[in-house]
């Protein structure tokens, strides 16, 4: 079987990729999958480019761990997705504790975005400039950025990112926007507003954290609605969790579900690529967050391909 990245590119996509974490890189069995560049032509740092990791104190930047991931991308010829610049989670305490006014927080956002994007200038295919700005009902999330600046924080961050690396694609990334519904509509309205205001926006990240047997049926219709806005998009954090212990029936359903998601990306040309939120169950974030759930990735704990892997291959081969 050809590797997933080869098959994705053969099907007209830029890449098939994965998230990874710096702590996993001492596992040589794991890293060998990246070194031979068989399956993954794109990489996303799971944590090491986030605000708490890169600017733990105001104006003090540390890019050591992020650079390790960027170097992997460089050494193995992988696309790099920068993740992420402005998010209410994994935000160092000082951003909220200092009670900045609008002028102060504007400067804080500009400094953070400008410094990080400039550091990785020329290395990043796409930045998740804004992460998870919406509530599930489509209203804006009331975090420190929105509460202080309203939606201006989105504009401020996107403009700073564009100025710092004009060639990087600028994305907004979120979950529960993969299917037709009020959150997706709200994201489309945000894109339209940014376009009307001449604010740079190139793409939307569809996280795609799904549940076995519950993959939405309106993926293609929804993806096309984003494409019709004249932007690109990507599946940025794909995993499909199941209740543990795993069963043969659920592993088989998971194969169908991975097929469905990958095939949906293939149906819409504006879908640039697919990233799994790590490729092995050994390092998936799911069990630590969703008690009783797991087995969400295409490879098992022993790095062996699961039926889900075959589902991806069949989709990429156009089957």
Catalytic annotation, residues: 132, 237
Q: How far is the CB of 305 from ligand G3I (least distance, A)?
A: 22
CB of 230 to ligand G3I, least distance (A): 25
| C-alpha to C-alpha distances, 284 to 145, 178, 259, 296, nearest whole angstrom | 29, 21, 19, 7
Q: Which is nearer to ligand G3I, 20 or 106 (CB)?
A: 20
Long-range contact set of residues 65-74: C-beta below 8 Å, sequence gap at least 24: 65/22, 66/120, 68/22, 68/25, 69/20, 69/22, 69/43, 69/45, 70/120, 70/123, 70/124, 72/20, 72/25, 72/34, 72/43, 73/42, 73/43, 73/123, 74/123
Name the residue with tokens 């710092």: 164
Shortest spacing between CB 266 and ligand G3I, in angstroms:
23
Least distance (Å) between residue 297 CB and ligand G3I: 12
Residue 20 has a CB neighbour count (10 Å cut-off) of 26
Q: Minimal CB distance to ligand G3I: which residue?
A: 285
Residues that bind ligand G3I (CB under 6 A): 46-47, 89-90, 131, 207, 237, 285
> Other CB atoms closer than 10 Å to residue 173's CB: what's the count?
26
Q: How far apart are CA 187 and CA 233, in angstroms?
A: 12
Query: How big is the chain, counted in residues?
Result: 319
Tokens for 63, please give them: 């890019």
Residue 206 to residue 274: CA distance in whole angstroms: 9
Q: Of 106 and 233, which has the nearer Cβ to ligand G3I?
A: 233
The Cα–Cα gap between 21 and 32 comes to 15
Whether the CB-CB separation of 174 and 131 falls below 8 Å is answered with yes
CB closer to ligand G3I out of 16 and 285: 285
DSSP structural state of residue 27: -
To the nearest whole angstrom, how small is the minimum distance from the Cβ of residue 174 to ligand G3I? Answer: 8
Identity of the residue, 48 or 222, whose beta carbon is nearer to ligand G3I in the bound complex:
48
CB of 88 or CB of 146, closer to ligand G3I: 88
Least distance (Å) from ligand G3I to the CB of residue 173? 7
259 or 277: whose CB is closer to ligand G3I? 277
With H, G, I as helix, E, B as strand and everything else as coil, classify residue 18: strand
User: Please, what is the minimum distance in Å from the beta carbon of residue 51 to ligand G3I?
Assistant: 11
Q: How far is residue 27's CA from residue 33's CA, in Å, rounded to a whole number? A: 11
Tokens 């927080």 found at: 105
Kindly tell me which of 87 and 259 has the beta carbon lying closer to ligand G3I.
87
Report how far residue 119's alpha carbon sits from residue 112's, in angstroms, rounded to the nearest whole number.
11
């Amino acid at each position: 079987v050809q590797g997933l990245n080869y098959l994705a590119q053969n099907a007209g996509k830029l890449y098939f990729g994965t998230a990874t974490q710096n702590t996993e890189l001492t596992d040589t069995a794991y890293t060998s999958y990246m070194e031979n560049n068989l399956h993954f032509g794109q990489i996303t740092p799971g944590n090491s480019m986030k605000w708490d990791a890169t600017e733990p104190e105001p104006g003090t930047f540390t890019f050591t761990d992020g650079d390790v991931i960027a170097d992997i991308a460089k050494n193995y010829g992988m696309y790099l997705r920068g993740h992420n610049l402005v998010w209410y989670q994994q935000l160092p305490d000082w951003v909220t504790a200092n009670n900045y006014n609008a002028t102060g927080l504007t400067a804080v956002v500009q400094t953070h975005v400008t410094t990080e994007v400039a550091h990785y200038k020329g290395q990043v295919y796409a930045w998740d400039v804004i992460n998870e700005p919406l509530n599930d009902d489509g209203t804006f999330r009331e975090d420190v950025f929105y509460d202080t600046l309203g939606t201006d924080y989105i504009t401020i961050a996107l403009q700073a990112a564009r100025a710092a690396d004009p060639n990087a694609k600028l994305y907004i990334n979120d979950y529960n926007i993969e299917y037709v519904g009020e959150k997706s509509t709200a994201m489309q309205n945000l894109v339209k507003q940014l376009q009307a205001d001449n604010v740079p926006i190139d793409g939307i990240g569809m996280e795609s954290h799904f549940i076995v047997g519950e993959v939405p049926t309106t993926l293609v219709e929804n993806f096309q609605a984003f494409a019709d806005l004249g932007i690109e998009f990507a599946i940025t954090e794909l995993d499909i969790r199941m209740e543990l212990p795993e069963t043969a029936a659920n592993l088989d359903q998971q194969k169908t579900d991975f097929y469905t998601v990958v095939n949906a990306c293939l149906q819409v040309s504006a879908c640039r690529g697919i990233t799994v939120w790590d490729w092995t169950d050994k390092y998936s974030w799911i069990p630590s967050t969703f008690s009783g759930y797991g087995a969400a990735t295409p490879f098992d704990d022993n790095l062996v391909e699961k039926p889900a892997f075959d589902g991806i291959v069949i989709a990429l081969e156009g089957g």
